A = this chain, B = another copy of it.
Amino acid sequence: MHRFFLTQKQFHNNYVEFPSNVSHQLTNVLRLQTGDLVLVLDNSNFEYTVRLGDVYQMPITGDILERKLSKNEPKVELHLFFSLTSREKFEWILQKCTEVGVSSYFPFISKRSLVQQLYVDAKKFSRWESIIKEAAEQSRRGKLPEINHPSSFQELIAMLKDNYDICFLAWEDAESQSMTLKDISVDSSLPGIKKVALIIGPEGGFAQDEINFALENNVTLLSLGRLILRMETAAIVGSAIIMHTFSS
Residues of A within 8 A of B (CB): 71-72, 74, 96, 99-101, 138-141, 181-182, 225-230, 233, 236-237, 240-241, 243-244, 247
Chain B residues within 8 Å of A233, by CB:
96, 99-100, 236
Choose among B72, B96, B225, B243 the residue that contacts A243 (Cβ–Cβ < 8 A): B225
CA distance A194 to B66 in the complex (A): 48
CB pair A228–B182 under 8 Å, yes or no, is no
What is the copy number of this chain in the assembly?
Answer: 2
CA distance A182 to B244 in the complex (A): 8
Chain B residues within 8 Å of A244, by CB:
181-182, 225, 241, 244
Candidate in A101, A237, A241, A247 with the most chain B CB atoms within 10 angstroms: A237
Candidate in A71, A72, A225 with the most chain B CB atoms within 10 angstroms: A225
For the complex formed, measure the closest distance between the CB of A11 and the CB atoms of chain B, giving whole angstroms.
Answer: 24
Closest to A229 in B: B99
